[in-house]
Amino acid sequence: MAYIRCFDCDWNQDDFWTEDYNPIISIFHWKDNFLEYLKKSIDKRKILVGKRFMLDYNVPGEPNGYGDFNIEFKDFIMVEFHNIINRIKNMKWWTEKDWKNDPDPYCPICKSRHLVID
Ligand SMILES: [Zn+2]
């Protein structure tokens, strides 16, 4: 898998989409995992996340004393949906073929032509 990022600003896009990797498949995978979690913890309405999650998403949470935090499950769901929406929103070249066939690829944010494929 490979993705495109801009050398001159923070823009990047998701890995190129294929039949086996795309946001719709991610949503189905996500749904199965979270339905299972929700069945187990619907009464608590909390989920344990790490410090990295707290720094990245700035949601309210309570430390558990071991370096992790309990947050509202609804906040966790909102972050996950937000991330999926951003993956879709930032996608300029859906496939590697789209990328290779673009005669003049440039960053959709800063218009730089200094793009990197990782
Ligand atoms: Zn850029």
Task: Give the Å distance between the CA of 112 and the centre of ligand 1.
Answer: 5
Task: Give the Å distance between the CA of 36 and the centre of ligand 1.
Answer: 39
Task: Give the Å distance between the CA of 93 and the centre of ligand 1.
Answer: 14
**Angle, CA of 18, 19 and 24, to the nearest 5°:** 95
pLDDT tens track for 64-82: 999 999 999 889 889 988 9
Task: Give the Å distance between the CA of 116 and the centre of ligand 1.
Answer: 10
Task: Give the Å distance between the CA of 109 and the centre of ligand 1.
Answer: 5
Please give, one letter per residue, the 3-state secondary structure of 12-77. ECCCCCCCCCCHHHHHHHHHHHHHHHHHHHCCCCEEEECHHHHHHHCCCEEECCCCCEEEEHHHHH
b (16+ CB within 10 A) / e for 62-72: eeeeeeebebe
pLDDT tens track for 13-51: 999 999 999 988 888 887 877 787 777 766 678 888 999
Task: Give the Å distance between the CA of 55 and the centre of ligand 1.
Answer: 24
